Structures are given as C-alpha cells and as structure tokens.
Homo-oligomer: A and B are copies of this chain.
Amino acid sequence: MRARLKDVAARAGVATNTASTILNRRSNSWASKETAARVFKAAEELGYKPSRAALGLRLGSFKTVGLVIPDLHNPVYTTFADLLEQRMRDHGYDLILEHSRNDLKYEKHCLDSIIDRQIDAVTYFVSDLNTHLDFLKRAAKTSTHVVALTGPSIEPFPFDAVEMDFASGITAAVEHLLDLGHEHFAFLCALAKGQEAGDRPNVFNQMLKERGIPENQNSFIPCAHDLLSARNTFGEFLDGISGPKPTALIAMNDLTAIGAMRAASERGIRVPEDLSVIGVDNIPLGRFLPRQLSTIAQPLEELADATAELMLYRLNNDDEEDSKPQSRKFKAKLLIKETTGRVC
C-alpha cells in the first residue's frame, strides 16, 4: 500500500503532525535537526507522497488550473497550452487541458467538468459570449477564477480577459492583397458546431466595399475547423463557382488554409500564382510547408504571459473579490511569406 504520513511519522518515531510540520518546512517547526533528518529519511525510504485527495479536501484547492481549447489538433492551441503550462508550473500550478472539439455543447460539458474538479482557475477561448455568460457567473459563484480568451469587446468585459484583436490584421491582409492587384476574394470561415456566422460576412463585405470591391466579387464560405472540412468545402466551392474564380483567399485559421490549398492543388490551381492565400494564427507548421504560409499572427507567447499573469493575480489575491475585472489587449500582425503574390 501507498505510504501515508502516519507511516512516515511512525517510522521516524514522531507524531503525525510533527512529521507534517517538518515535511512542509513550516516556520513554527523548531524540531531538532536530528528529528527533521529522521523524518525526511523515513519519507524518502517509504516513497511518501502526500495524497492529493486529502490535500485537496483539507486545503480546498488542488493547485491546479484548467485550460479549455477548442481543438486539440490545431497547433495554435497546443502551442498556447504548452506555453501556459510552463508558466503556471513555474508558479507551482498544474495545468489540466480539456478540448471541446469545436462543439459548443461539448464546450459546456468541459467547463462543467472543470468546475466539478474544484480547479482553482480556468481559462478558455470564448467562441460565443452569450452562450457562456451563465457559465462565467456560475464560475464566479463557486469562486473559480476565470480568464476569458476573447475577441475585443466594446463595453468593458465583466470578467478578466485577454483580448485578441484580429481586425487590424485582417484589414492589413486585405489591403496587401488589393495592392497586389486582387479583385476577387474568398473568405473561409471556420465555425464551431452550433456557432453562427453572425455579422462576419457583413464586416468582410463592408471592408471590401469601402475599398471599391463590389459584394458580388466576394465569397463568404463557412466551414468547420478541420482540414478535411476545409478541403471539401473549398473544393466544392471551387467546383460550383460560375463567374470568375477568386484569386485571393483569407482563411480564418492556418489549418483550414492548408486544407483549402490542398483543394486548390487538386484542381491544378497553383499557390500563389493562381491563388494567394493568407491564414490566421501563424502556427509553426506554416513555416515548413513547401510554400511558407502567409498569415495573420497571434503573439502566442505574450498571450500566454498575460493569461498566466491575470490568473496568478487572482490566485494570489483570493480575498479581494471585489476588485475590478482586468483585461490585456493584443493585436494580430500580418506576416507575408510565400503564399501571396501579384495577380497574374
């Protein structure tokens, strides 16, 4: 059987609590060096590890934070998870990773599971604010700290948030494509299951209209988050198109950009000669494709830093519940690589 503190104490010939005090190097321990040494030795010999269950029960915390990502297979999220884990571990917290499979229903399940576990804090990518406002409130009730990873909000966000603004990056991308002479655009938008496109098409159309491109020269193509869906959706779009094909594609994430490029290549469409492609995320993989993927980059390290910082602040100031929600804002940057070119 697993060794308990009691066993360690017995073997060292002290009382249980004495062993506890010594092992935790509590300041009120005036135990003799000798005694302390005996206890450490006993713990070592027995391979003693404190029971997380007992610790959790007694201390009311597992020293663990949660991260819910939409997609375990998208490198942008695993990269972020990795970064955040390192930062939290440096401060003595474990990170539990859940993934919601790009499904709003399942996301709710993940968040519930996080709360169940009495995790100290959670951070997650907010796909739809309304859907989760009730979660945020419930989390607040069980005193689970939340840091939301979200788009920019106009009103002050009612919870701690790391806000990522893609708008300027997308605008820069469009303007860069216009400079290259492109006039026919496609916009591939990865949507979670159960998520609506919302006003994204309008935003896109509006942006182009302001720059002299009429609405009938733009195509808004909703698809799922995975490679296969991107390939199929964009492929079917290409096959079904009647007028002139788009010469420029902006994909809402790098992974779908890769899927779309495959669909193009299957149809003899060359990138970037026939089609310029810009993704979003700047996943490491993008730099290792035969053509390095042009992309709108998220500053992942800074996002992880900010997230860790906000979490740790709450974790360390558990008392001051009333303090104002904080937010950190970041902007995406256009990164031109090898999948964009002048229109032929």
Contact = CB atoms under 8 A, between A and B. Distances in A.
A52 B117 contact: yes
Contacts of A62: 53
A313 interface: no
A107 to B, nearest CB: 15
- Count of this chain's copies in the oligomeric assembly: 2
A305 to B, nearest CB: 19
A169 to B, nearest CB: 23
Interface stretch (A36-44, A74-82, A188-196): A74-82
A285 interface: yes
B288 A262 contact: yes
Interface of A: 1-2, 47, 49, 51-54, 56-57, 60, 62, 72-73, 75, 78-79, 81-82, 94, 96-97, 99, 113, 115-118, 138, 141-143, 227-228, 231, 258-259, 261-262, 265, 284-285, 287-291
23 contacts: A2-B143, A49-B116, A52-B56, A53-B56, A53-B60, A53-B118, A54-B57, A57-B57, A72-B78, A72-B82, A73-B75, A73-B79, A78-B78, A82-B99, A94-B113, A96-B96, A97-B97, A258-B289, A261-B290, A262-B289, A285-B285, A289-B289, A290-B291
Given A228-B284, A262-B287, 6 more contacts: A2-B118, A52-B56, A53-B53, A56-B56, A72-B81, A78-B78
